[in-house]
């Protein structure tokens, strides 16, 4: 058992079994993320050398660099990372609760719920005279978040039958996802044409135009739920063995399931509020993480988060540099890797 390191505090009743390999993977990906962040800050309309990036970050570089980095690139990159990490952790939790590797917030309809809410919001508050919104655009994330949360509650409520079973959650979720896609289509077809492009970009998912205000809203939210994942990891582990075993080992299965779905929704909701419907990250990242560190959630959740963050960072880097001066929604690139990967997963799991 050399792969594991027991950690015990002498005076306090605190003890853990540390998976050394997982820790190593986590450290490597942390470094990788840091490197991508620095490279990513430097790349764009104006290229800045990594050295100058680091200098500027510590407030020692040229003023011009500082402005570009501080006002435009840094908030966008931070939002991109948090969004990716949130979606990935949310997806990992959902895959554990539903006991199906094909689950994720965008597949059971949470993202679509947010999308329907956003499209409705834009259509409803459009001032037809001058094509501007009658309320502040700052309410858009609120609408998205509420859409996601209401959707999750609806799925949960409809799946309820003396408790919620994983299979009912998936079936109800996939069904409601289709219904929400229909709502979105109807709204876009019958709504004003002027909104269609904006809506389509939102639905594809983009971190374009992220501000520090966005960062200061999303970051505390993310940081609140982050430590919770270590609290709930062991509950997820045991839920994955099936309801009977989890109950037999003394878990309050239904209560834990509700809390886990709540955390998963909160993270996904926060992400879609600021980046729209970036797809496949919640599905992809936990899978890659599972290949690297196995199925135990104590290691799987943090590594998924890192990988998810990295995926969105890279997707957005390509999105804003590859076709410059065009700024393509990052969701285009997560989907173009995600869709083939999803098909591969379906193929791999065809016997399940």
Instruction: State the residues that interact with another protein by CB under 8 A.
Output: 1, 3-4, 6-8, 12-17, 96, 99, 101, 230-231, 234, 237-238, 240-242, 244-245, 247-252, 290, 294-296
**Whole-number minimum distance, CB 301 to another protein, in Å?**
14
**Whole-number minimum distance, CB 226 to another protein, in Å?**
14
Please identify, using beta-carbon distances, which residue of 40 and 256 lies nearer to another protein: 256
Nearest to 114 by CA among 265, 263, 260, 337: 265
**Whole-number minimum distance, CB 23 to another protein, in Å?**
15
Please identify, using beta-carbon distances, which residue of 59 and 250 lies nearer to another protein: 250
**Whole-number minimum distance, CB 112 to another protein, in Å?**
27
Helix (H, G, I), strand (E, B) or coil at 196: helix
**Whole-number minimum distance, CB 257 to another protein, in Å?**
15
Please identify, using beta-carbon distances, which residue of 49 and 249 lies nearer to another protein: 249
Q: Classify residue 293 as exposed, middle or buried by CB count within 10 Å of its CB (0-12, 13-18, 19+).
A: buried
**Whole-number minimum distance, CB 263 to another protein, in Å?**
14
Determine the Cα–Cα distance for residues 103 and 85; give it in Å rounded to an integer: 16
CB 2 within 8 A of CB 17: no
CA 149 vs CA 119, 164, 175: distances in Å: 16, 17, 17
**Whole-number minimum distance, CB 291 to another protein, in Å?**
8
Determine the Cα–Cα distance for residues 38 and 48; give it in Å rounded to an integer: 10
Q: Which residues contact 229 (CB under 8 A, 6 or more apart)?
A: 89, 93, 263, 297, 301, 302
Please identify, using beta-carbon distances, which residue of 55 and 99 lies nearer to another protein: 99
CA 132 vs CA 115, 123, 124, 125, 144: distances in Å: 20, 11, 11, 9, 19
Please identify, using beta-carbon distances, which residue of 18 and 36 lies nearer to another protein: 18
Please report which residue ranges of the chain form alpha helices under DSSP H.
Answer: 20-42, 50-57, 63-67, 74-98, 110-124, 140-159, 166-190, 193-204, 212-239, 243-248, 253-275, 281-293, 297-321, 330-348
337-349 in b/e form (b: 16+ CB < 10 A) is ebeeebeeeeeee
CB 41 within 8 A of CB 48: yes
Q: Which two tokens stand for residue 158?
A: 């409809």
Q: Which two tokens stand for residue 15?
A: 């003890």
Helix (H, G, I), strand (E, B) or coil at 164: strand
Please identify, using beta-carbon distances, which residue of 211 and 295 lies nearer to another protein: 295
**Whole-number minimum distance, CB 237 to another protein, in Å?**
6
Q: Which two tokens stand for residue 331?
A: 């969701």
Please identify, using beta-carbon distances, which residue of 40 and 100 lies nearer to another protein: 100
Please identify, using beta-carbon distances, which residue of 138 and 242 lies nearer to another protein: 242
Please identify, using beta-carbon distances, which residue of 8 and 194 lies nearer to another protein: 8
**Whole-number minimum distance, CB 16 to another protein, in Å?**
5
Please identify, using beta-carbon distances, which residue of 96 and 302 lies nearer to another protein: 96
**Whole-number minimum distance, CB 340 to another protein, in Å?**
20
CB 133 within 8 A of CB 125: yes
CB 313 within 8 A of CB 36: yes
């Amino acid at each position: 058992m050399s792969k594991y390191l027991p950690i015990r505090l002498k005076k306090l009743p605190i003890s853990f079994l540390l998976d050394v390999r997982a820790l190593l993977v986590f450290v490597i990906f942390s470094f990788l993320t840091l490197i991508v962040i620095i490279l990513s800050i430097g790349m764009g309309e104006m290229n800045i050398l990594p050295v100058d990036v680091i200098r500027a970050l510590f407030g020692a570089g040229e003023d011009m660099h500082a402005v570009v980095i501080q006002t435009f690139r840094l908030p966008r990159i931070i939002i991109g990372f948090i969004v990716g990490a949130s979606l990935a952790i949310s997806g990992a939790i959902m895959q554990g609760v539903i006991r199906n590797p094909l689950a994720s917030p965008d597949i059971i309809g949470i993202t679509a719920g947010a999308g329907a809410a956003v499209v409705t919001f834009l259509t409803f508050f459009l001032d037809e005279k001058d094509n501007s919104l009658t309320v502040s655009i700052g309410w858009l994330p609120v609408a998205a978040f509420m859409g996601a949360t209401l959707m999750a509650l609806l799925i949960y409520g409809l799946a309820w039958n003396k408790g919620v079973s994983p299979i009912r959650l998936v079936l109800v979720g996939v069904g409601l996802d289709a219904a929400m896609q229909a709502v979105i289509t109807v709204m876009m077809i019958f709504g004003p044409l002027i909104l269609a492009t904006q809506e389509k970009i939102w639905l594809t998912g983009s971190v374009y135009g992220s501000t520090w205000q966005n960062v200061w809203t999303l970051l505390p939210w993310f940081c609140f739920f982050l430590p919770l994942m270590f609290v709930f990891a062991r509950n997820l582990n045991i839920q994955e063995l099936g309801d009977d075993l989890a109950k037999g080992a003394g878990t309050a299965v239904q209560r834990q399931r509700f809390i886990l779905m709540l955390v998963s929704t909160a993270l996904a909701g926060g992400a879609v509020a600021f980046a729209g419907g970036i797809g496949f990250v919640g599905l992809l990242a936990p899978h890659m993480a599972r290949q690297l560190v196995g199925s135990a959630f104590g290691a799987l959740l943090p590594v998924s988060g890192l990988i998810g963050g990295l995926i969105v960072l890279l997707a957005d880097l390509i999105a804003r540099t590859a076709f410059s001066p065009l700024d393509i929604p990052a969701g285009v690139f997560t989907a173009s890797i995600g869709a083939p990967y999803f098909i591969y997963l379906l193929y791999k799991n065809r016997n399940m």
